[in-house]
Structure 1
């Protein structure tokens, strides 16, 4: 959130500024794009504009102005952060006197090497994530062996919340060991320093020091995390196709062979442009490339 200029002349000039200009000022080196401001209210602001990232059809954020004590708010989801240079952004945000009002930071234990959800659940019951003398609210969503993925919640929205869940299973791989530990922080009762942008893992450990005994000093790279996301969704997609349409595809393949047609010609008849919703939040070229890798391994 950034304070806007004051005065009649300044307000007139600010009204001419495009969302793309503001992104350039606050997030130098970014690869985002933004619509123009429209009179659509959002979170107490009168005008807003959608923000997009390369390769993604759906918005990854929103920018809003004209409200909330003459501030401008920029909100970007996790799926759009690959298009932001966080180090350069922090320096620019410091220059403009910006402040963070909410931040979500996550650690991905891709191979289940560091974090066991049942152990975190036990620690939560024992009060290891409580702050002060008052127990934190906590809940556990059990998938009861369905493979859909269980989840632990400690704390409350609007203040501070820990969410640990079986991310790989949530993505569709019912045997995945992938666990994500996510911390959501709001500025209502605390200062969120801009240095958090340099070290998301530091933000997690600062909010819940008990996690230091589980999490390593370094987080997996975004590329490795995205690769695991695509693998899980690609496996789920092939399982769904096999279950829902496997027999139909087999019959069409046999008929095509008798008609002298190839498998490729049958696929051309059945497919249409676009990406399935299961790949929302992943650039199309990344989804295709990583799915090709998955297919190579599955076919061999």
Structure 2
């Protein structure tokens, strides 16, 4: 059964948590440039490359800024001269960093902090921040006027959705705010040009106030939008499938989709209850001491399958007992949590949560015959020849420098003899695979093989 935003199908499951990120095209372009620069080995980290892009594009021949620095257009991003020209005045003007002669002398972690401080002084950064905050305002307007459910749409004077700024940032973002639906905490917003965009999370309370098909239509039109977390819940109010049933499914392999079995944990909660006077007397007579309590697992069972750090996890728990519900004491909830770790969560997953839920594990296949797979992407190792060689040299020094020292000073071998002994039997083009994969060609390889 195909589903679209105009003719949505009623799902048995529902969205219980949703996180989306987005950013203006200008920020997306800077992020792409930073990935290229980092991939080329021009910078030691992506964050460092991104900060440099933010600063560097601010300085052209006609620009004026808090940092009075001129940059030659011929200077490329893979040159240390770029750092010296951009940050030299700030390096000398800061008491914390005055001891360093150049940006490259600052330790890596401190260098990231220094770069971030320099970035925040630029008009470029302030302009991008304004663009991002404008996108947030537009998002909130659409949330109140189009995306909110009919029940949540109030008058123009009374908005159902609002947010209040927090004192600090969140999740490495520079700024954050709490999202409210009818003045009830319903999620968070975090943003910053230094973090490259906006993150908006809706909790279960927030998701209940969203018209999901209209949210899907809005997200489709937004630039550079991505779902980073999607929680889908199935509520079995009668408890036809218990947590112990799911545990049996686990033992039968119904939570295994590959040859690698997932991790799991099973938790019971309850209370201690006193035993009867007769049982206490019998226990004391038999064992010589008084047993005062029995452990009663009446607080509910919870089963976790998978790992959050791998981007896919299921949890099944007795929500009726958790909520102490008198009308629905057997209520069991099964939840699927997906994160954009080695996977792309399609926007269409918002419309057909049943198919996504059923495709996640064979144990959830009873929901529907439809399947919408959120497949994992193969993680390709990103190699940079210069960085790999630098790392291997460091490991070699740590592991074998004393042995080489022994060969040189105790056995009194010459440098040529040491090299000959350690490389005996190797061809000139025999180099580590990790450097080979970085497309580094050894010098004169063509001459040596012809």
The TM-score bracket by the shorter chain reads 0.5 to 0.7
Corresponding residue to 2:213 among 64, 80, 87: 87
How far off its partner does 1:26 sit? Answer: 6.4
2:311 is the alignment partner of 1:156: no
What secondary structure does 1:75 align onto? strand
Measured against aligned partners, the alpha-carbon deviations of 1:224-273 in whole angstroms (never above 9, x if no partner) come to xxxxxxxxxxxxxxxxxxxxxxxxxxxxxxxxxxxxxxxxxxxxxxxxxx
- Change in Cα spacing, 1:75 to 1:12, as seen in structure 2 (3 Å) is closer
Corresponding residue to 1:206 among 346, 353, 359: 359
Point out where structure 2 has 5 or more consecutive residues left out of the alignment.
Answer: 1-20, 28-123, 153-159, 271-295, 371-450
Aligned-CA RMSD value:
2.7
Q: What is the alpha-carbon distance in structure 2 between the residues aligned to residue 146 and residue 191 of structure 1? A: 39
Measured against aligned partners, the alpha-carbon deviations of 1:135-167 in whole angstroms (never above 9, x if no partner) come to 100111124643211011100113111101111
Matching of residues 2-151 of structure 1 within 5 Å:
2-6=22-26, 8=124, 11=128, 13-14=130-131, 17=134, 19-25=136-142, 28-30=146-148, 31=152, 32-38=160-166, 40-54=168-182, 56-57=183-184, 59-67=185-193, 69-97=195-223, 98-113=225-240, 115-143=241-269, 145-151=296-302
Bigger Rg, structure 1 or 2 = 2
Measured against aligned partners, the alpha-carbon deviations of 1:104-151 in whole angstroms (never above 9, x if no partner) come to 1000001123x1221110111232202311110011112464321101
- Change in Cα spacing, 1:68 to 1:25, as seen in structure 2 (3 Å) is farther
Contact 1:20 1:34 in 2 (8 A): no
The equivalent residue for 1:176 is 329
The equivalent residue for 1:266 is none
Contact 1:44 1:67 in 2 (8 A): no
Q: What is the alpha-carbon distance in structure 2 between the residues aligned to residue 12 and residue 207 of structure 1? A: 38
TM-score normalised over the length of structure 1: 0.64
The equivalent residue for 1:193 is 346
Measured against aligned partners, the alpha-carbon deviations of 1:71-93 in whole angstroms (never above 9, x if no partner) come to 21100101111211110111111
- Change in Cα spacing, 1:126 to 1:67, as seen in structure 2 (3 Å) is farther
What secondary structure does 1:101 align onto? strand
How far off its partner does 1:197 sit? Answer: 1.2
TM-score normalised over the length of structure 2: 0.44
How far off its partner does 1:216 sit? Answer: 5.8
Contact 2:161 2:180 in 1 (8 A): yes
| Aligned length, in residue pairs | 214
Q: What is the alpha-carbon distance in structure 1 between the residues aligned to residue 139 and residue 214 of structure 2? A: 14
